[in-house]
Chains A and B, each alone.
Chain A
C-alpha cells in the first residue's frame, strides 16, 4: 500500500518532471535517467567511454522505476535519450508508444532466458538488462543462531516459540502486499497470470483464488493471528534490527540499512509451505530507449558499447547489491556473498509479468492483502473478491 503511495507520489511528481536538458541538447551528448541515488555509479561506469568518444553523458536521477511520465514528456521533446526501468513496465511502456524496439541492438546470448523474457514483449526486446533483483529471507543470527531455516516447518516453529516466549514481537517483518507476499502466495497455490515457461501468455487466466489456495487460505489467517505476520503492515525494520523479530523479507535495497544497523544476518531462499522453495518475483532492471530521443545514434552506440558490457553490469550491481543480469558478469559473483545468495535464490524465482494488465493486478491484489491485514476480511474471502474484481476489470 505504501509502495503504491510512493509510486503515485513519484509518478505524480515525475510525471511532469522535466529533462534538465530542455535547452537544445548539444550534439555529442546523451541523457540517461536513472534511479535516485545511483547517479554516481552510472557516471563512473560511463566515464571511460564518454572520454574516449568525446560524448557528454548526462546522468540524471529521475524516476528510474517506471513510466516516469514519459508518455507525456517524450512526445513533447522533454524526455531523455535513455532511461532505466524495471522490466514489469515493459508492456505498458510499449503500449503507450514510449519506447523503441532494441531487438536489432541487443545481444541475446549475453543474458539468461528468464531475463530475456522479462524484456520481451510482442516478440521484440525493448530493454537492455543490467541487474536482476529479488527479495529473499533474512534471518537474524543473534535471535536464531542456527541460521537460516531450510524448511517452512523450521521457520514457523522457531518464530512461534520466540513469540510465545516474548522474545519476539513478530515472526516475519514484511510488507503485506502482492510483491512481498508472492512467495507465500505461490507456495499455497496462488498465481497471478498463467505462466508457461517464463511467458505470461494468458491474462484471462487469473489465479488469485485457486482451489489449492482456497484450501490453504485459513492457514494465512492463523498465522496472522499468531503474529507470524505483522498486521500493522508498517514494515517497521527496527523489529528485525533490534532483535525483536527473527525473520524479515528483504531486497538488495535493504542491505545498506541492515549493515548500518550492525545486525548479523543471513540471506537465504524463502522456504515453501508445501515443501521446496517458494517462488518470488524477480525483477530485471533494464535500460530503455526513448522513441523521441534526441540522439538515437549515440544512445544506441552507448547501449551496445557500454550497457551491454559485463563490466557495466558488474559496476552497477556491486553498488546496489543486486545480481548482474549479464551472464559473463554473473560468473564473477562469489556465491557466498550477499549478492550471490540473492542470485542463487533468484535463479528459481519467476520474472514479474510485464504485461500492462499488471496495473490492475496490483490494485486488487494489494487491496486484498490490506483488507486481510486490517482484519476486514479473511484471507480466502479477500482473495476471492480480488480475483472476481480483477477478472471483471480485465473484461474476462
Chain B
C-alpha cells in the first residue's frame, strides 16, 4: 500500500513539474516575442514571470506562493504598473499639444512649415537599396543634370546623364546599390512615405507616391547640436523652453510641443494657479461632504429599517428584505441613467408626479440633492443588510437584561444597540466612505458633474467630486486633455482616500481594544 502511494506521488510530482514547466516556457516564449518587438517592459515582465512560475511550482517547497502567484502577477501587471505609470505622468506636461516626443515634434514643425516649390515637370525618382545596410534610398534629378542620392539621414550628389536617366530611370553603376523596379517599389512603401531628402540649398524632397517627388523648402532649419530652430525667412531663432515647446526670444511659441518632464509643476499649480485652485477647493469640499452624508444618512436609514424589520411580530420579513435589495440588482450604469431621465426638469416623471417644477439637474443645490437621493437609493439596501446582520449578532441576553433593567426602547437603542452595531460594522463603514469618495458613476452619469461653475474652465461643476473632476481634466478637450495635471490629482486622490481609510481603521481598532 505504501509503495503504491510512493509511486503515485512520484508520478504526480513529475506531471506537476511538467505542467508548470510548460506554462513557464510558454510565457517565456511570449516574453521573447515581446523582446523581438521591442516591447521592453512587457518582455521583462513576462520573462521574470516565467521564471517565477517555474520556480514557485516546480522548485520551491513553500506553499503560500503557489496560491498567491497568479493573483499577484495579474495585480502587478494591471493595477500596480498602471498606477506607477500614471504617477510618472504626473511629473510631465502630458496634455494636448504635448503628446509627441521631442524628435517627433521638431520633425512636425519642420514638416508643417514646408512651402511647396512649383516645378514645370513632376520630379520622378527611383528607389534604391544600399546592399550593405539594406536601407532605402531615392535617386532623382534636380535641377537639370544634377543628380542626388539620399535618404532622411544622408545625401550626396552623383554624376549622371540626363537623357539616359530619362530613358532608363536610373544612373548606371552606382556602387553598393541595387535599383528597385517600379513594380517592386510597393514593398518599400513604409520607408518611402517617411523619407525626406534635404539638399544643400535647403530644398526638401518627399515622395508623394511611388514615382513622384514633391519639392518644398522648409521655413525652418534645425541645428541638432545647438538644439535650435531657425526661421530661414525671418532669422528668428527658437530654443526649448521649460514646458516642452520651442520658444523665441520674444515669446513666440511653435506648435506642436512635446511631452517634457516638468518636475513638481503640476503639484504646485494646484496651489498657485487660481484657475485650478478655486474650483478644486469647491470640488474637494463637496467630495467629502457627499461621501460622509451618503454613508452616514445611508447607515442611519439602513439601521432604522433593520430595527423596524427585525421585529419578531412581522411575518413577511423575507418579502420586504428581497424587495428592499432590488437596487443592488440593477446594473448601476443603467439605473443611474434612468434616474437622470426621471429627474428631468418639468417634463420628467418626478416633477410631473409631484406636480412641482424643480430644476433638478441644472441648479447646483437641486443637483446636489438629486445626487444624494440617487446615492442613497443605491446604498441603503447594503446598509440595511449589514445592519440586520449586526443586530442579529447582538447576544439576546444583553437586550433581555436591558429590558429587565427597565430601559426604554430609545435608551436600549442609543446605549446598547447603536454602539455595538457601529463597533461591528466599523471597518465596513470606513470602506464605504472610501468607496463613496470615489463614486464616479453616480455623479458622472447623473449630472456629468454639473452644473458647471462658470469660473472654472468648464471642468468643475457643483456636483463634481475629485475623481469626476480629474476624469474630465484628462478626457475633456476643452480642458486640454491635461493628463499631467489629472495624474497629479489622482495621486492626491489616492493619498486622501488612503489617509481617511487608515485613520478610520485605526480608530476602529482602538475602539475595539478599549472595550
Which A residues fall within an 8 A CB radius of B?
Answer: 1, 4-5, 7-8, 11-12, 15, 27, 66-67, 71-72, 75, 92, 94-97, 100-101, 103-104, 122, 124, 232-234, 236, 291, 294-297, 300-301, 356, 359-360, 362-364, 366-368, 370-371, 373-374, 382, 385-386, 389, 393
Contacts and interface: CB of A to CB of B under 8 A. Distances in A.
Contacts of B256: 95-97
Contacts of A71: 96-97, 99, 481
Given A104-B214, A234-B344, 10 more contacts: A71-B97, A75-B100, A92-B477, A96-B96, A96-B99, A97-B97, A232-B346, A295-B189, A296-B193, A301-B209
A95 B95 CA distance: 12
Contacts of B101: 75
B190 interface: yes
List 7 A-B pairs, minimum CB-CB distance, nearest first.
A363-B458, A97-B256, A12-B475, A367-B454, A97-B108, A296-B193, A95-B255
A94 B214 CA distance: 21
A370 B363 CA distance: 10
B476 interface: yes
B272 interface: no
A371 B477 CA distance: 22
Nearest to A101: B112
Nearest to B457: A363
B255 A97 contact: yes
Contact of A97 (B104, B477, B481): B104
Contacts of A95: 96-97, 255-256
Interface residues of B, number: 51
A18 to B, nearest CB: 16
B345 A232 contact: yes
Contacts of B451: 1, 370, 374
Contacts of A370: 362, 451-452, 454
B452 A1 contact: yes
B112 A362 contact: no
11 contacts: A4-B478, A92-B477, A97-B255, A104-B116, A122-B112, A297-B192, A297-B207, A300-B208, A368-B454, A386-B454, A389-B455
B114 A11 contact: no
B362 A11 contact: no
A360 B210 CA distance: 43
B108 A291 contact: yes
Nearest to B216: A104
Interface in B91-118: 96-97, 99-101, 104-105, 108, 111-112, 114, 116
B220 interface: no
Contacts of B452: 1, 363, 366-367, 370
A184 B300 CA distance: 51
B455 A236 contact: no
A366 B456 CA distance: 12
A362 B99 contact: no
B125 interface: no
Nearest to B346: A232
Contact of A393 (B108, B192, B275): B275
B146 interface: no
A72 B101 CA distance: 11
Contact of A359 (B187, B450, B471, B480): B480
Interface string B420-462: 0000000000000000000000000000101111110110000
Contacts of B362: 232-233, 370, 373-374
A101 B114 contact: yes
A11 B477 contact: yes
Contact of B97 (A4, A96, A371): A96
Contact of A7 (B186, B193, B209, B477): B477
Nearest to B194: A296
Interface string B167-199: 000000000000000000011011011000000
B100 A97 contact: yes
